[in-house]
Chain A
Amino acid sequence: DGGITQSPKYLFRKEGQNVTLSCEQNLNHDAMYWYRQDPGQGLRLIYYSQIVNDFQKGDIAEGYSVSREKKESFPLTVTSAQKNPTAFYLCASSLGQGTNEKLFFGSGTQLSVL
């Protein structure tokens, strides 16, 4: 079955530590996205990538980094510079940044700070 796989489902970070969240898709989608969701809040865009080897900052990119070396994969690293990393992280993909495409989301990773 095609879809988006995020791992791990739960992740704990120690102070000063970098952690990486995995996102893999087998939908053959060109565009991929990372969103952050805080309790009771909407989704805020961290980074997005329209094609392999290219990515752009979203609204809240500070303290995060990404790579897009393969079409299927778009890992997100939460660096020690992100002082408030506790949140629900959602990865999504779409066919492309057209005007009417829909986003397909993974099941999310809950990141907490120890």
Chain B
Amino acid sequence: GQSLEQPSEVTAVEGAIVQINCTYQTSGFYGLSWYQQHDGGAPTFLSYNALDGLEETGRFSSFLSRSDSYGYLLLQELQMKDSASYFCAVRGFRDSARQLTFGSGTQLTVLP
């Protein structure tokens, strides 16, 4: 089956850097994605890694190590608006289809 683990909560101050880790187990691997969700809102796509290494998009970066079944989301220059839940999601092969499984989410609180 597929499973993911990520910390349930992370707290940091404005302007700081925070890293949210994600480890996964999957049958077949097609990529690791990250989504952001504000309270009561829709998840929005942040990044996708299919190959090892770092992908940078503005203040956000995402890293993947396929050999370690591990990835992380790095948020720099934290702003108050970054307070949200962050979900990692892995696409693996299950039931004859490439299915996306989400982690339970990490609640990030940014303090002034």
Answer yes or no: do A and B interact: yes
Cβ B105 vs Cβ A41 within 8 A: yes
Q: Which residues of B contact A97 (CB under 8 A)?
A: 97-98
The reply to whether the CB of A42 lies closer than 8 angstroms to some CB of chain B is: yes
Q: How many residues of A contact B (CB 8 A)?
A: 22
Cβ B104 vs Cβ A42 within 8 A: yes
What would be 25 A-B contacts, judged by CB atoms less than 8 Å apart? Answer: A41-B104, A41-B105, A42-B4, A42-B102, A42-B103, A42-B104, A43-B87, A45-B100, A45-B101, A58-B99, A90-B43, A99-B31, A99-B50, A99-B98, A100-B30, A102-B33, A102-B45, A103-B35, A103-B45, A104-B45, A105-B43, A106-B42, A107-B41, A107-B42, A108-B40
Cβ B105 vs Cβ A90 within 8 A: no
Q: How many residues of B contact A (CB 8 A)?
A: 27
Bound-state Cα–Cα, A90 to B37, Å: 12
The reply to whether the CB of A82 lies closer than 8 angstroms to some CB of chain B is: no
Interface of B is mostly: strand
The reply to whether the CB of A17 lies closer than 8 angstroms to some CB of chain B is: no
Measured CB to CB, the closest approach of chain B to A89, in angstroms, equals 11
Contacting residues of chain B (42-98) with chain A, CB-CB under 8 angstroms:
42-45, 48, 50, 87, 91, 95, 97-98
Bound-state Cα–Cα, A73 to B10, Å: 38
The reply to whether the CB of A18 lies closer than 8 angstroms to some CB of chain B is: no
Q: Which residues of B contact A58 (CB under 8 A)?
A: 99
Cβ A100 vs Cβ B31 within 8 A: yes
Kindly supply a per-residue 1/0 record for chain A positions 67-81, scoring 1 wherever the CB is within 8 Å of any chain B CB and 0 otherwise: 000000000000000
Closest to B98 in A: A97
**The one of B40, B44, B99 that contacts A105, using a Cβ cutoff of 8 Å:** B44
Closest to B9 in A: A40
Q: Which residues of B contact A35 (CB under 8 A)?
A: 102
Kindly supply a per-residue 1/0 record for chain A positions 35-67, scoring 1 wherever the CB is within 8 Å of any chain B CB and 0 otherwise: 100001111110010100000101000000000
